[in-house]
Structure 1
Amino acid sequence: MKPSHIDWCPMIPDHWEEKRIKDIAFLQSGNSITAMDFVEDGKFPVYGGNGLRGYTNTYTNEGDYVLIGRQGALCGNINYAHGKFYASEHAVVVYPKKEEITLWLGETLRTANLNRLSMTAAQPGLAVSTLNLQFIPFPPKDERIRIAKYLDKKLSEIDHQVSLLTSKRDAYLRLKKSIINHAVTHGLNPNVKMKDSGIEWIGEVPEHWEMCRFKDAFRRWTTGITPDSKNYKYFESDICKGYTWVTISDFLEKYISQSNLNLSDESIKLFMPPLSLKGSLMFSFKLSVGKIAFADKDLYTNEAIVSIPPNNGQCLEYYYYMLPNVLHENATENIYGAKMLNQKIIANMLMVVPPLPEQRAIATYLDDKCAKIDTIVSNLDKQISRYADLKRSLIDEVITGKRAV
């Protein structure tokens, strides 16, 4: 091995060269495209900065190419395009100056972590002029061919294993959803008499269960707020700490326990009581409709979150499992195609309401069943993650010459 001038690859094999990207290829951004140009059943794929964006009936390129994401938080990511395709203005097409091995070139650029060259934090982006001047390790052609063949074989084997694990994971998630749906609409007694709920997507429910509007089941429920010019000072003060601000992005587990932002103004305690009390069930009704979690402490929430306080007349654990489907089925699309709910729709949503003892029994049953499935899914996720690490390590070792092939 010998020292190189490449910051991400300080050592390369003695017989390898270092070359600038512009010495190997010509880089050019794709063409602009508007939403009107996308066609659901279009003939040709459209690639943007993060990969496939949709389809259209015209194409800009034909062949096998490496694409570099040009804009956005993931700028610098690498994708491949084959056959006829449309490259948008957010993708940089890599045109080799001589016949080149596409897989070797793409994985070399991926290993270079081009995202580190991003120019701004607000709207990250890459300049072609900057990319052109980057040096990469350049093995002899016969080695580039061997590297490509080796990676193609090994990565295909890894991808196959990941595909099997992912299919297994997805099957368990479908099983979990099926178990939840059956329990919250049919109960736990397989011999119970059934009746038509009158709601197509629910179907039959136990004869003694009731159908109830959300506002009749929960007389008390609140929506959060978003800081604006009138109250933002409260969120900047550091007089007294204590409350936590959460948004939909914090709904990662059943119980929210991580602080996002500590609010700390005495006037909040006086004039702005917590919007979600400890034990409240919270759900999103804008954008990520149906995300749901419990508050394990007094919280502040934003305007996209509804909070149901602890209720002696209802088992909120049951509604944790039942509500997501109700929310999804009642959501409507806004002008941008996003699923949304409003206060009136939420208030009038129809729900299946078993007697309180059955609510508790169903919640306990689902806690047990879902915990077991979640453990299996977590183990599968860890295996998938290990294969991803193996894949990255393998590519790095081969591309930088640490592993001879």
Structure 2
Amino acid sequence: MPLKRDLDFLTSGSRGWAENYSDEGELFIRITNLTRGSIGLDLTDIQRVAVPDGAEGSRTKVRSGDVLFSITAYLGSVAVVPDALESAYVSQHVALARFHQLRLTSKWVGFVALSVVGQAWFGMKSYGGTKIQLSLDDVRDLPTPVAPVDEQRAIAAFLDRETAKIDELVAEQRRLMELLKEKRQAVISHAVMKGLNPDAPMKPSGIEWLGEVPAHWEFNRIANVFREVGEPGTAELPILSVSIHHGVSDKEIAEDELERKVTRSDDRSKYKQVSPGDLVYNMMRAWQGGFGTVTVMGMVSPAYVVARPLKMVKTAYIEHLLRTPQAIEQMRRHSRGVTDFRLRLYWDEFKNIRVALPPIEETTAICAKISELEERFSAMSAESAESIRLLQERRTALISAAVTGQIDVRALSPTKAMEATT
């Protein structure tokens, strides 16, 4: 039956409350607080709001047992309001459903929304282009399997237990991915700052952020290794992007794939031409590791600095060095600006930073070793990501099977119930 047959009422939050954000106000539940794939409510990143006077505020105040639906972006996200939640209100992008609880229990509705039944319904009913959304009528009409109320409670309790176990396995895989990321950075940092030979004699670098380096390495200012260039681009060259995660792209990135807040000018004559081996950095994101090595002919934003090698040097090695946490802190110190997001690293500051350089043969070996390590870490991270995907699929399958009657959880042990979904 549709949800509306057991609804007490359904509403969405008021508009314009963003103007009333206040550290001293009430909890303000947004779509980001509705966790995807779970009926839990995430209050770790909660906004507060000064509630307007009158009925407009009171009608959107949540109670224990209310079911909250995202009606724009993150469609299919749902949460059941827990007991003992302090005074809280919903935003305009969250639908608040309150039930008579005569035929439908709150957790049952939440799990139905997460099942293939709910996900298919919301996907079919969503509308809009770049900003997809649902109407309140779409929520009211959600087709809902109806089991006896006592059985709904039993199934919900079963799913609470079993999805919690799956969630813990997912959390373990995510922790593993974070550890792999940290390990990768530590290994790379050691390679570019200490070399590959653990028995190499060391010497003080005299550069605070570098510490001791192999005794045969030489020191140089960036200005003695690179020169700034600003050659104009040409229409046929691809516009390359610099990412703090992936360096310089090797092809033009589609507009809808660009990082947030990145825009392009229609006038390509404003862009700077780059050649393989150039070092490029984003002046506004150098303090976050926004460096990259160019591998193909192209052009980059006029807001980027392009540095071309003056002598035989492995630019990829310099990129790895400048992405270390120690070097990034130096980029911050040499950048100008009032706040972090206004910091800019100009060439006149960057060129005076001193680095330690191994012989070219050694830098080539270090870069080759880093490439080998990155492939290995990427493969392990991909395995964890695939494990997460499979666990999430299993979670959805278990929920769907339970709420549509494909398995009778009353007669199955947890292990057999899980096996029934495979």
TM over 0.5: yes
Q: Is 1:156 matched with 2:164?
A: yes
Cα offsets for 1:344-375 (capped at 9, x unmatched): 57635725231343433322232223322222
Matches within 5 A, 1:6-405: 18-21=1-4, 23-24=6-7, 26-30=9-13, 33-34=17-18, 37=21, 39=23, 46-51=28-33, 52=43, 53-56=45-48, 60-71=61-72, 73-82=73-82, 83-84=85-86, 85-98=88-101, 101-111=105-115, 112-113=118-119, 114=122, 116-190=124-198, 191-195=200-204, 197-199=206-208, 202-206=210-214, 209=217, 212-221=220-229, 243-248=237-242, 256-257=249-250, 259-260=252-253, 275-286=273-284, 289-303=288-302, 305-308=304-307, 312-325=311-324, 326-327=327-328, 330-331=331-332, 338=341, 340-344=343-347, 347-348=350-351, 350-357=353-360, 358-405=362-409
User: Structure 1 residues 132, 368: CA separation in 2 closer, same or farther (over 3 Å shift)?
Assistant: same
Residues 29/365 of structure 1: CA separation in 2 closer, same or farther (3 Å cut): same
Offset at residue 106 of structure 1 (A): 1.5
Q: Residues 254, 57 of structure 1: CA spacing in aligned structure 2 closer, same or farther, 3 A cutoff?
A: closer
Cα deviation per residue 1:157-215 (whole Å; 9 max; x = unaligned)?
2112112222222212111111122222233344533426444x555545665665545
Shift of 1:118: 3.5
- Cα shift at 1:306: 4.5
The CA deviation string for residues 8-32 of structure 1, in whole angstroms up to 9 with x for no partner, is xxxxxxxxxx123464352222355
How much has 1:376 moved relative to structure 2?
1.6
CA positional deviation for 1:148: 0.9
- 8 Å contact from structure 2 (residues 62, 89) kept in 1: yes
**Partners of 2:10 and 2:231 in 1: CA distance:** 50
Q: How many Å separate the matches in 2 of 1:311 and 1:183?
A: 24
Supply the AA of the counterpart residue of 1:126: L
1:310-360: per-residue Cα shift (whole Å, max 9, x none)?
765321121231222434653469788637534357635725231343433
- SS of 1:136's partner is coil
> Secondary structure of the residue that 1:352 maps to in structure 2?
strand
Residues 196 and 274 (structure 1 numbering): CA distance in 2 closer, same or farther, change over 3 Å? Answer: closer
Letter in 2 for 1:330: M
Q: Aligned-pair RMSD on alpha carbons?
A: 4.1
| Separation in structure 2 between the aligned mates of residue 80 and residue 335 of structure 1, nearest angstrom | 43
Q: Give yes or no for contact 2:18–2:49 (8 Å, CA) kept in 1.
A: no
Compared CA separation, residues 50 and 363, structure 1 to 2 (3 A): same
CA distance in 1, matches of 2:351, 2:219: 11
* CA contact 2:242–2:292 (8 Å) conserved in 1: no
**Quick one: distance in 1 between partners of 2:93 and 2:339?**
21
8 A contact 2:225–2:309 mirrored in 1:
no
Q: Equivalents in 1 of 2:133, 2:403: separation in Å?
A: 25
The residue type equivalent to 1:63 in the other structure is S
Cα-to-partner distance string for 1:9-57 (whole Å, 9 max, x where unaligned): xxxxxxxxx1234643522223554477354xx7975431222543448
Contact in 1 for aligned 2:27/2:48 (Cα 8 Å): yes
Is the Cα–Cα contact under 8 Å of residues 49 and 90 in structure 1 kept in the other structure? Answer: yes
- Structure 2 residues not aligned, in runs of 5+: 34-42, 52-60, 256-266, 410-422
Letter in 2 for 1:301: V
Identify if the C-alpha distance between structure 1 residues 275 and 88 changes in structure 2 by more than 3 Å, giving closer, same or farther: same
- 1:127/1:220 Cα in 2 relative to 1: closer, same or farther (>3 Å)? same
Q: Distance in 1 between matches of 2:70 and 2:278?
A: 42
Tell whether the 8 Å contact from 1:76 to 1:126 is kept in structure 2 after alignment. no
The answer as to whether partners of 2:283 and 2:345 remain within 8 angstroms in 1 is: yes
Q: What residue identity is the alignment partner of 2:46?
A: G
Structure 1, unmatched stretches of 5+, are 1-17, 226-230, 235-241, 263-267
Alpha-carbon distance change, 62 to 25 in structure 1, aligned in 2, over 3 angstroms? closer
Indicate how the Cα distance of structure 1 residues 188 and 56 shifts in structure 2: closer, same or farther if over 3 A, else same: same
The answer to whether the 8 A contact 1:274-1:298 is kept is no
What is the deviation of 1:141? 1.4
